Amino acid sequence: MSFEIRERDLLARIGRLETKSGVVETPVLLPVINPAIQPIPPKAMREDFGCEALMTNAYIIKKHYERKAEETGVHRFLDFDGVIMTDSGAYQILVYGDVETTNREIVQFQEQIGADIATILDVPTGWGVSEEYARHTVVETLKRARELGKIKSREDIRWVGPVQGGVHLNLVAKSARAMSRLPFQVHALGSPTAVMEQYIFDTLVDMIMAAKQNLPPDRPLHLFGAGHPFMFALAIALGCDLFDSAAYAIYAREDRYMTETGTARLRGLEYFPCSCPICSKTNPANVKAMPKSKRQEFLAKHNLHVCLAEIKRVKQAIFEGQLWEHLVIKSHSHPALFQALKRLEKYKDYLEVYSPVSKKSGLFFYGSVDLARPEVVRHRKRLIDRYTQPKDAKILVFLPQTRTKPFHKSKEQNRALREIEQKLGDRKGLIHVCTYAAPFGVIPTELDEVYPLSQHEVALPLDLETINYVAEQAAGYIATTNYRKVILLQDSKTWGNKIASTVRMICMEKTIPLTVLRTINPWNNATLNSLIDAVQKAIGEKA
């Protein structure tokens, strides 16, 4: 059995997870099935919704239906011929404090009923606990994880090694490192439910990343109790491959109607903002008049459609290389999600390492939050680590970005470059032209067409954080190169005085002469003539 990765974007991946009952494409949502209370039959989930896999609780089955499940196997018991993952009863420990079984018993029971993906009886950390107790849950879970090799008798089941520690990130990292040394095929992040229920998504980012950075990248990561679809994109972008959720049914029991960006109360709906096969056949008034059981069934089906549709949208975004854009759009559905997106800045270097270098499409930049995206981080690093200014170049000419890309082929820059070349002749090699541009900072002309420096769109006007970032990159570039003079054509309308003032400080520090040409219209005839004069003067001084 193997986990094969087909597509990547950020830390997300579209993969193929092999099990004894078939192959599951990840990222995948596993609807949670409660055999005692289930508004949608598992068979219908397969036939009507296209669910490849689901999750059920082995402890509940053992407690109430043990003999029947052992006789028939879990697939026949649930009437589901896809992939079945079983939880061990750890959630019941979290809610009730204990369960009436042992790790050995529940491991053996999951083998007997033939689960495809099974979980040891871990000890969940939970929410609001002391670091001492959290450490206990990590130690005890690891103890039970090490027992698995002595207990299990089958080799055709994928076993899940849960990572505990809760919000104590040092313990999450320790747990992940220890689990990674054990022969599990899947890992899971434990105890995120309370964090998600309270919309503390920036803390969720920290928890996932503490685990992800310390787990083997070739093993899929499961997020227990994923909940609402509006946060799926965030978790998938951070490298979660499998999700279980009972929210589709729980929300239905509370007359709550899921949308891709939030939740509505049925009583407040005059229209259904959805065209799924369930909603397109009726209206809120009719659903409100249904008997409670029928109403719950309707809402559960709609909610499941919304959840599965979001997984498909995220997969398509991964395939197109636009997961960051999808994440930005999704983050505006709630301030807590946008706060979580901002938290990615903390992990920007790690995201850059594992993100693809090229993509199928161009990039969209909306504001300063996009400065953390891998492509911007990668350009900054490579400009420092891998780039050297042309050998003979002594004079840096900084030009502002144009609306047309590549910049050097725009009408504005092309005209300036032609004039410089005609005026200087054989001495043109002394001049090196770069563009200062959002969001990448400094773009040497010879790199102008390298992806994605010309394959992007930026929203104007620029926010202050982006302007400051570009100014800092311009100054940093001058600090690490060896030009003898700098000529800056300032676009005051777009950049104000920030670029000029920041560049002036580094030039003074390095005692490099600086000429600043200030203008609101940097491409008119007068400004272009001033630029040519400044270049000729600089060449003359050099000579």
Residues with active-site annotation: 87
Strand 514-519's sheet: what is its strand order? 441-444, 431-437, 395-400, 485-491, 514-519
Separation of alpha carbons 311 and 26, rounded Å: 9
Closest CA to 138 of 150, 123, 154: 123
Are 174 and 125 in contact by the 8 Å Cβ rule? The answer is no
Separation of alpha carbons 253 and 264, rounded Å: 13
Query: What stretches of 190-273 adopt beta strand conformation (E)?
Result: 221-223, 242-245, 256-259, 262-265
For residue 369, what is the enclosing H or E element?
Answer: none
* Secondary structure of 384-414 in HEC code, one letter for each residue: HHCCCCCCCCCEEEEEECCCCCCHHHCHHHH
Query: What stretches of 108-260 adopt beta strand conformation (E)?
Result: 117-119, 158-163, 186-189, 221-223, 242-245, 256-259
Query: What token pair was written down for 28?
Result: 């995948």
- State the amino acid at position 296 in one-letter form: Q
* Structure-derived torsion over alpha carbons of residues 141, 146, 149, 154, reported in degrees to the nearest 10: 20
Closest CA to 242 of 7, 57, 54, 91: 54
Q: Is 33 helix (H, G, I), strand (E, B) or coil?
A: strand
Specify the DSSP class assigned to residue 24.
E
For residue 206, what is the enclosing H or E element?
Answer: helix 201-212
* CB-count exposure of residue 285 (10 Å: 0-12, 13-18, 19+): exposed
Are 343 and 29 in contact by the 8 Å Cβ rule? The answer is no
Alpha helix (H) residue ranges in 386-524 = 411-424, 464-479, 492-495, 498-510
* Secondary structure of 122-148 in HEC code, one letter for each residue: CCCCCCCCCHHHHHHHHHHHHHHHHHH
Are 351 and 322 in contact by the 8 Å Cβ rule? The answer is no
